[in-house]
Structure 1
Amino acid sequence: MKYAIILGDGMADYPIQALGGKTPLSAANKPFLNKIAKKSLTGLVKTVPEGMKPGSDVANLSVLGYEPNKNYTGRSPLEAASIGINLTDTDVTLRANLVTLSGEANYEDKTMVDYSSGEITTEEARALISDLKKSLDDDLHTLYSGISYRHCLVTAFGKAEGGFTPPHDITGKKIAGHLPTRKEYLDMMKKSYEILKNHPVNADRIKRGLNPANSLWFWGEGTRPALENFESKYSLKGGMISAVDLLKGIGKLTGMRVIEVPGATGTYETNFKGKAEACVSALIGGLDFVYVHMEAPDECGHQGDLEHKIYSIERVDEVARRVAEGLSAAGERFRMLVCPDHPTPLSTKTHASDPVPFLIYDSAAECDGAKEYSEAAAKETGVYFADGSCLMKELLK
């Protein structure tokens, strides 16, 4: 038996008037998922425990069967693992976004224009981080370059506190009231603005009509986690496919094989076909389980981009189809879980804690499912998992 999880990050949403009251998931052209939903265990699952913030960190740990209440120590340590940072027990890590702030003279008066600096390229971002390190790194603080706008700050002997706010939660809002309460971090953010505002990389981006990456923004604080090895936990050899450091870090920390896919970007322009092919190849080649994570629907939700959120969902459908067809052609029996980690509604442009629709398809055993794969259809089945970390057990039955 082979197992696959096909996860569309932030894929769930709320009904939209422009779609006739449908959600993007319901409105999307997804023939394969609708077909298998009719013969799959389909329902809703709550991936974010009560009292926890609805982040991709918490929700993806939950989907993988790692109870967040017991295993979660912060987002940035997971990303740090992917970057290759060896943390000590006294290190505190922070996600360091490259963001676009408005141009007011006083830092506190600025507005969060873009949490991703127009999804700045990794090449451009590395040039900026390299210059920031020259001024900001010291005996206690070290910046590390990641992917696109996502980077990491490690503070030796630090404290995992400071009133940090995810920048995607305040898009279009004044940053006053959302700034770090610890002076050392606020000072670094202010200094980063002075370094970046006239940087040649940003001057070139402005000429091209792109948002400049003119400030660091710290959030996602945490300390080194201790996650159980995936193979020890499930007696399965596992693999992780994702473009983002968060999921790669979870893969590394749980001993899964992190599978790199050329052209995987974390956007709606990512190499969806390559991810599907890599999943099939890994499963046929000896792995028992592969987690295929696609960031695109989430990014589109944060940007309020309806057209490309629907497009991304349709690509998730294609990935699920390619994986199923590839395994069937190889004569493999398989079980496949398809779900989002959390909703990223276009109306709010940030994460929500609402239950999300899932389906578990068995290539050799059909059951009564739902009329389609959507939030409403999943709710109609009456199937509900209040604890998202139990979903993995259901997949592996």
Structure 2
Amino acid sequence: MKYIVILGDGMADYPVPELDNKTPLQYAKKPNIDMLAKKGTVGMVKTIPEGIAPGSDAANLSVMGYNPEVYYTGRSPLEAVSMGIKLSAADVALRCNLVYLSEEEEEYSDKTMIDYSSDEISTDEARILIAAVNKVLKKEDITFHAGISYRHCMVWNNGKTGLGCTPPHDILEKKITGYLPKEESGLLLSMMKKSYDILKNHPVNLSRKERGLRPANSIWLWGEGKKPALSSFPEKYGKTGAMISAVDLLKGIGICAGLESINVEGATGNVDTNFIGKANAAIDAINKGKDFVYVHVEAPDESGHRYEIDNKVKSIELIDSQVVGPIWEAMKKYDDYKILVLPDHPTPLSLRTHTSEPVPFIIYDSAKEIASPASSYDEFEAKKTNIFVDNGYKLMDLFIKGALD
């Protein structure tokens, strides 16, 4: 039996007036996904436990079969693992975004979060800026590590957790005053303020402005946590597997779970990502003997954060035509296979951030096609089936074992 998970990050949404009061999933043309829904088990799953922030970290752990209430230690440590950073038991890792803050205000705390990605700054430019930050702010117990685009990492030996940090994508177009770190010593805020002085007139940023691009004029620290200890997915489910994603968070989850992390050229995490490349990588992994492949596509989530209505619909349609369609066709040569399609959490366009509501899922079993009561795949059709998985981490049991343990 072969198993494929196709996860469209943040696909779920609310009805959108500009889309004839339909959700992006309802509005998008997605014949392959809708056909899977008509022949498979469709329902709703709650991926975010009560009391845990609705992030892709906890949600994807849940979808992978790991109870976030047991295994979740923070976002950044998972990303650090993917970046090859060696964390000790005493280390605290923090996500370090390169962001663009408004420039008119003299006081740092009076500024507004304009862009959490600095116009999707290039990795080459970002590495130069993170090196500049590390040169000035590095201490015996603090180091900065360059990642991809705007996503980087700070490691704090013997550091603290519970720092009151806020994800920058949650506060777009808001003043940062009420969202600054609440860590008692003020160390994090001090470094963020100093980073502004380091970066605001850096040659990389002056060049970006000349080219009409937003500068990356500050770091933003959040997502702190300690090294996670996930049990082995191959041992847990008896399946060899691979993770395919453009983002360090998912790569880190895969590595920690004992899956192979497969890189795809041109995978960006946005609507311009290499959709077909991800599908081909998944097909290749299965053909080479993997039992299980997890394909993560970030584009719908990014579109939700940016309030890009057309791009959110487009990303769903591209997932359907360039990921689901080719994978489904390639799997037909195998006698038995299953496909799971779902988002990790909603990212409503109207809110521009994640929410904790349950999300719709499809489990298609090639050996047990059924006449589903769902006529298509969306939030409302899934609710009609009255199938509900309250503990999201048990969905993987349903997918692989055919029953909830």
The residue number in structure 1 matching 2:116 is 115
CA distance in 2, matches of 1:100, 1:49: 32
Three-state SS of the structure 1 residue aligned to 2:39 is coil
Q: Secondary structure at the match of 2:289?
A: coil
| Per-residue deviation, residues 247-273 of structure 1 (Å, max 9, x unmatched) | 000111111000111111111101000
CA distance in 2, matches of 1:332, 1:157: 52
Name the counterpart of 2:396. 392
Cα distance in 1 between the residues matched to 2:59 and 2:370: 27
Identity score, percent: 57
Q: How far apart are 1:161 and its partner, in Å?
A: 2.3
Three-state SS of the structure 2 residue aligned to 1:38 is: helix
Question: Counterpart in 2 of 1:52?
Answer: 52
Q: Which amino acid aligns with 2:114?
A: V
Q: Indicate whether 1:207 and 2:234 are aligned.
A: no
| Aligned equivalents of 1:60, 1:331: Cα separation in 2 | 27
Q: Is structure 2 residue 9 aligned with structure 1 residue 6?
A: no
User: C-alpha separation between the residues in 2 aligned to 1:232 and 1:37?
Assistant: 30
Structure 2 counterpart of 1:360, from 360, 363, 387? 363
Deviation of residue 327 (structure 1)?
1.5
Q: What TM-score, normalized to structure 1?
A: 0.98
**Equivalent residues in 2 for 1:60-75 (5 A)?**
60-75=60-75
| 2:331 equivalent to 1:327 | yes
Q: Check whether the contact 1:284–1:327 (CA below 8 A) recurs between aligned residues.
A: no
Q: Which consecutive residues of structure 2, in runs of 5 or more, have no partner in the other structure?
A: none
> What are the equivalent positions in structure 2 for 1:156-171 lying under 5 Å apart?
156-171=157-172
* Aligned residue among 323, 336, 340 for 2:343: 340
Tell me by how many angstroms 1:141 deviates. 0.4
Contact 1:2 1:332 in 2 (8 A): no
Q: Which runs of 4+ in 1 moved over 3 A?
A: none
Q: How is 1:234-249 mapped onto 2 (pairs within 5 angstroms)?
A: 234-249=237-252
Q: How many Å apart are 1:192 and its aligned residue?
A: 0.6
Alignment of 1:1-397 (within 5 A): 1-103=1-103, 104-182=105-183, 183-318=186-321, 319-328=323-332, 330-369=333-372, 370-396=374-400, 397=402
Q: How many Å separate the matches in 2 of 1:360 and 1:323?
A: 14
Shift of 1:332: 4.5
Say how many residue pairs are matched.
396
Structure 1 unaligned spans of 5+: none
> Which amino acid is 1:276 matched to?
A
Root mean square deviation, CA, Å = 0.8
Alpha-carbon shift at residue 331 of structure 1 (Å): 3.1
State the distance in 2 between where 1:177 and 1:17 align.
31
CA deviation after TM superposition for structure 1 residue 288, in Å: 0.2
